[in-house]
Amino acid sequence: QKEVEQDPGPLSVPEGAIVSLNCTYSNSAFQYFMWYRQYSRKGPELLMYTYSSGNKEDGRFTAQVDKSSKYISLFIRDSQPSDSATYLCAIKPPEGRRALTFGSGTRLQVQP
């Protein structure tokens, strides 16, 4: 079983839709959760960084963590064509190790 599972998509939505992106993880020791956005031929760009269970909001983006279910989500409201990219969830283990474990990424296409 992979440490982090992420549906690769592609996910195609119309402009203005609410997008839900999800990852599950297997190791309850993971404590820090991140979402990165990666445009084609570019590096991952940090969108959200959370520690505790619950929601964290930043503009049109909301990150949600459910540690009891080992489930993390990223919601994008009022999606725009410029949101078309691959979204990667990443998880960091507890203190002492810094290697991030990434999901395989979900490709999102927002149709104008």
Partner 1 sequence: NAGVMQNPRHLVRRRGQEARLRCSPMKGHSHVYWYRQLPEEGLKFMVYLQKENIIDESGMPKERFSAEFPKEGPSILRIQQVVRGDSAAYFCASSPPAGGGNQPQHFGDGTRLSIL
Give the interface with partner 1 as residue ranges (CB under 8 A): 4, 6, 8, 32, 34, 36, 41-46, 49, 51, 88, 90, 92, 95-105
| Residue among 19 and 90 whose Cβ is closer to partner 1 | 90
Shortest reach from residue 99's CB to partner 1, in Å: 4
Shortest reach from residue 7's CB to partner 1, in Å: 12
Tokens of 57: 């909001």
The sign of the CA dihedral 8, 13, 15, 17 is negative
CA–CA gap between residue 92 and residue 83 (Å, rounded): 25
